[in-house]
Amino acid sequence: MTKRAMITGITGQDGSYLAEFLLARGYEVHGVVRRASSFNTHRIDHLRRDPHDPANRLHLHYGDLSDGSRLACLVDDIRPDEVYNLAAQSHVRVSFDEPVHTADITATGTARLLEAVRRSCPEARFYQASSSELFGATPPPQDERTPFHPRSPYAAAKLFSYWMTRNHREGYGMFAVNGILFNHESPRRGETFVTRKITRAAAAIAAGRETHVYLGNLDAVRDWGYAAEYVEGMWRMLQADEPDDFVLATGVGVTIREFLDVAFGTVGLDWRDHVRFDPRYLRPTEVDALIGDATKAREVLGWKPSVDGRGLAKLMVEADLEAIEHAGRPWIDTVPLPSWNDPDTP
């Protein structure tokens, strides 16, 4: 039997890698896409086929985590075996500007989706995209037993979703799990997160298109892994014998300065000549250090990452350089649009 997966946030970094991963394993994939005035499917366009082709296994549906009735209809129609809730207002700095919107999508949105699944197909396995931001002010190393101390509206919203997921597991016996993922990046990372901002700048400066980049706090430590490897961890959590919560991390802490060293070093530049400070990028409360211990995921799920923050800096700069060299535009634009491209479909 073909397994059916539903992914919210399929147009994001993780959603695109997860869709690729599941399609390669023979899944039928249903992605929820929010309506926008311009196309927002660029990360998954290379996976799309003619929707009229009976062999097509990627189906996109309009939907928004703010709209519980739509989510209920979608779950009822699709009847998924696995649900991956990746959609969120996912930017920590932005959550200070938009705390109420962040709560509506990143917290209440999860409750809407969990309730839709509980009502229509409680046997479906449910993955919640929880975050190392939950640990916040609690010093590293952090694992599944580390106390939470959220430091932003985003983290507070994710904390609500974490407990709603556990509550549906404990209260209703659902196979609902939290993946507590430490930062994970890739050439598809959104351009406003610090890693991609740095690697795009390094590539653009090396190509003579820019001269400098503005950044905020350079002292923070993050445990950066490779998104393509983390989506396999998500899937493994839903294949486990018992529902449980897992940390995914590399265990390697890297400061922003060290990431800058490798990124600019890859193109033979010294970042100190090109980085300027802008207090706009500071946060009212900062998360100083996140370094995860993923022993449980390794022992129970057999999941082990192979790329750390330094490896990522190099990999991402090389991808941004290639994008500039080949198209002069972001990497994703190098993928041609399918000829049947139909502007009426999401």
Q: Which residues bind ligand GDD (CB under 6 A)?
A: 90, 92-93, 131-133, 182-183, 192-194, 197, 215-217, 220, 222, 256, 281, 283, 286, 290
Q: Does 64 bind ligand NAP (CB under 6 A)?
A: yes
Task: Determine the Cα–Cα distance for residues 183 and 227; give it in Å rounded to an integer.
Answer: 9
Q: Which of 39, 46, 37 is nearest to 16 (CA)?
A: 46
Task: Find out whether 249 and 292 touch, Cβ atoms under 8 Å.
Answer: yes
Q: What is the DSSP letter of 299?
A: I
CB < 8 Å & 24+ apart, contacts of 192-195:
192/91, 193/91, 194/256, 194/259, 195/224, 195/259, 195/312, 195/313, 195/316
User: Which one of 3, 23, 34, 330 is in contact with ligand NAP (CB under 6 A)?
Assistant: 34
The CA radius of gyration of the chain, in Å to the nearest whole number, is: 20
Closest approach of Cβ 216 to ligand GDD, in Å?
3
Closest approach of Cβ 155 to ligand GDD, in Å?
8
Question: Toward ligand NAP, which CB reaches closer, 205 or 263?
Answer: 263
| Contact positions with ligand NAP (CB under 6 A) in 171-200 | 181, 183-184, 190
3-state secondary structure of 93: helix
Task: Find out whether 89 and 105 touch, Cβ atoms under 8 Å.
Answer: yes
Question: Toward ligand NAP, which CB reaches closer, 15 or 140?
Answer: 15
Task: Find out whether 59 and 346 touch, Cβ atoms under 8 Å.
Answer: no
| Contact positions with ligand NAP (CB under 6 A) in 74-93 | 86-90
Closest approach of Cβ 8 to ligand NAP, in Å?
6
Residue 86 site contact among ligand NAP, ligand GDD, none (CB < 5 to 8 Å, cut-off depends on kind): ligand NAP
Active site residues: 131, 133, 154
Question: Toward ligand NAP, which CB reaches closer, 178 or 206?
Answer: 178
User: Which one of 4, 5, 13, 134 is in contact with ligand NAP (CB under 6 A)?
Assistant: 13
Task: Find out whether 121 and 113 touch, Cβ atoms under 8 Å.
Answer: no
Task: Using CB under 6 A, list all residues that contact ligand NAP.
Answer: 8-9, 11-15, 34, 36, 40, 64-66, 86-90, 105, 129, 131, 181, 183-184, 190
